[in-house]
Amino acid sequence: EALDGTDLASRMAVRGAEVVKRLMEMGTIVTITQSIDADTAQLAVEEFGHKVRRVSEADVEIGLKGEDDTIDALLIRSPVVTVMGHVDHGKTSLLDAIRSSDVASGEAGGITQHIGAYQVETPKGARITFIDTPGHAAFTEMRARGASVTDIVVLVVAADDGVMPQTAEAINHARAAGVPILVAINKIDRPDADPNRVRQDLLQHEIVTEAMGGDVLAVEISATQKLNLDKLEEAILLQAELLELTANPDRAAEGVVIEAKRGTLRIGDIVVAGAQWGRVRAMYDDHGAATKAAGPAVPVEVLGLSGAPQAGDEVVVVENERRAREVSEFRHARTREKEVARGAPLNLEQLFSEIQEKESKSELPLVIKTDVQGSAEALVGALARLGTDEVAARVLHSGVGGITEADVTLAAASDATVFGFNVRANAQARELAARTGIELRYFAVIYDVVDEVRASLEGMLRPEA
Ligand code: GDP
């Protein structure tokens, strides 16, 4: 007997509407009771992250996601934390201070690698994973790609400044994601620090800290003086306990680019990350050391993929290369369909004609190159929000790697500026830029880029003198 949406939904323990929606995204329009062929069913089920076995021409057997996750196999995993808050309130300083507090780093020289996240060991042996890109831009971009990256948000509020606009924004982002907030009241070493005012301010945003009779944990810290960092870590672990975070290290790994969350990833595993796939050839931890296996919530850098996936892409281990290729091809096709639907330019020629069309409007054309994919996405997202009806930044191209001749050529075609974020131009690119009068700008802080672009856009609004 033929399969229908109801069968799949009940086997996967999801709502029927979810299955219909997923099928629709794959281009199969059916009602919940209409029969679907096994090939389509298999792809749909895999999109939900389940393993599939074909038991007959017409039927598939679904290995449920949590099938082997018996109570015995589940272990408490360490929490994954994102630090958010207003600019200059001390997010970077806090991440640096915590990084250097890592007990396990003692002799090994500390956490030095930028792999998007790092894991620290607290004095009592518990571990916490921190996403080391501060700010809500990165958080939002990840979420936009459907990744639930974070278990806990640490909201940094400077005690000498109180709740500011980006503090409120961060609160909203965390809420929208359903992620619990823990408050770090920072800079308490400053003479003008007023932690009570912070707690008071937070009330207006319905964050009721313990001192105010609520249940939100708040810890007074100084990132630069390294005061109470242990208390902050204890609070994070306490919050994590309430969340009952568990994972089964014995199962095949599942994770998110920038963060691996469940299961154990091993060298030799075949993984699909977004639309890319490959066999894990080597893994490096946050100390830059080669590792052979990465357990739940352990951030690693993976070598061996066919191309660069995007931040927020889901990572799954599959049984063989053929499956990996199929899933990857399916996802590629879906991405292409989405681009066509969005009217995204398909080739360089179309891109150029689109640029020429747009040039009559007040747009600030940019080419952006970054060290890691996450930064590129965070930047493009942040710049998109700066635009108004009259002026906007237009990112012609963004990508990972040093600035090359091709980037400068593209910029020259529409008089764009080239931004390098933690990357620089090679000699040929510099030479071409000098010859064509294209400006190359280097940045290391997202907010500097945003400030710069905002200032340029404001300049474009003013009438020419
Ligand atoms: P971010 O923009 O939130 O990442 O903030 P930063 O970490 O860059 O910090 C902004 C400024 O505040 C820097 O000059 C830091 O040295 C300073 N700062 C950060 N934490 C503290 C602190 O605990 N005490 C004091 N006095 N200054 C701090």
Q: How confident is the model at residue 384, as a pLDDT?
A: 86
167 contacts: CB under 8 Å, gap ≥ 6? 85, 86, 89, 155, 157, 205
Q: Best mutation site among 87, 88, 167, 194 for ligand 1, i.e. most ligand atoms within 8 A of its Cβ?
A: 88
| Amino acid 391: pLDDT | 82
Structure confidence by residue, pLDDT tens digits, 8-49: 777 666 777 788 888 887 777 777 778 877 777 777 777 777
What's 211's DSSP letter? G
Please check the confidence at residue 116 and state whether its pLDDT lies above 50: yes
CA of 370 to the centre of ligand 1 (A): 24
Would you say residue 160 has pLDDT above 80? yes
Please say if the pLDDT value at position 308 is more than 90: no
The arithmetic mean of pLDDT across residues 188-215, rounded, is 94
SS3 195: helix
Report pLDDT for 65: 44
pLDDT at 94 over 50: yes
Segment 199-220 shows an average pLDDT of 93
State mean pLDDT over 278-286: 79
Ligand 1 pocket mutation pick from 93, 95, 161, 449 by most atoms within 8 angstroms of CB: 93
Residue 333 host element (H or E): helix 321-342
Has residue 405 got a pLDDT over 80? yes
pLDDT digits (tens, 9 = 90+) for 340-379: 555 554 455 555 555 555 444 578 889 999 988 788 888 8
pTM of the full structure = 0.53
The model's confidence at residue 320, banded by pLDDT at 50, 70 and 90, is confident
Distance 223 CA to ligand 1 centre (A): 7
Q: How far apart are CA 277 and CA 274, in angstroms?
A: 8
CA of 172 to the centre of ligand 1 (A): 23
pLDDT(114) > 80: no
Residue whose tokens read 């620090």: 193
Q: Round to whole Å and give the CA distance between 102 and 75.
A: 22
Q: What's phi and psi for 246, nearest 5 deg? A: -130, 160
- Gap between the Cα atoms of 128 and 113, Å rounded: 16
Per-residue pLDDT averaged across 407-421, rounded?
85
From 130, 224, 229, give the residue whose CB has the most ligand 1 atoms within 8 Å, as the site to mutate.
224
Residues at CB less than 6 angstroms from ligand 1 = 85, 87-93, 134, 186-187, 189-190, 222-225
Q: Report how far residue 373's alpha carbon sits from residue 444's, in angstroms, rounded to the nearest whole number.
A: 14
Query: What confidence category does residue 250 fall into, taking pLDDT thresholds of 50, 70 and 90?
Result: low
Structure ipTM: 0.99
CA of 65 to the centre of ligand 1 (A): 43
Task: Return the biggest CA–CA distance within the chain.
Answer: 77
**77 — pLDDT class (breaks 50, 70, 90):** low
Lowest mean pLDDT among 224-233, 288-297, 369-378: 288-297
- Mean pLDDT of all residues in 283-292: 77
pLDDT band at 155 (very low <50, low <70, confident <90, very high): very high
388 vs 402, more confident: 402
